[in-house]
């Protein structure tokens, strides 16, 4: 996995998780949902890169 793409995935996952937790803490369902979506995008990006790496080997 390229280091840049891995970093993007981890950053997106962390930002989404933080956003989701802030939304949950303040009781803002939309913020919580947006955070969950962002975290999922990071998870998908990570899975895509892992799949690409598996095909290279």
Return the pLDDT at 1.
Answer: 52
Does residue 57 register a pLDDT over 80?
A: no
pTM, two decimals, is 0.84
pLDDT in tens, 16-40: 999 999 999 999 999 999 999 999 9
Q: What is the dihedral of CA 47, 50, 51, 53, to 10 degrees?
A: 160
Question: What is the C-alpha to C-alpha distance for residues 26 and 22, in angstroms, rounded to an integer?
Answer: 6
Give the Cα-Cα-Cα angle 46, 7, 57 (nearest 5 degrees): 50
pLDDT in tens, 1-22: 578 988 999 999 999 999 999 9
Mean pLDDT of the chain: 92
């Amino acid at each position: 996995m390229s280091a840049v793409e891995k970093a993007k995935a981890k950053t997106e996952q962390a930002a989404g998780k933080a956003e989701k937790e802030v939304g949950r803490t303040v009781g803002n369902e939309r913020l919580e949902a947006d955070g969950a979506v962002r975290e999922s995008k990071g998870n998908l990006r990570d899975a895509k890169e892992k799949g690409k790496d598996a095909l290279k080997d």
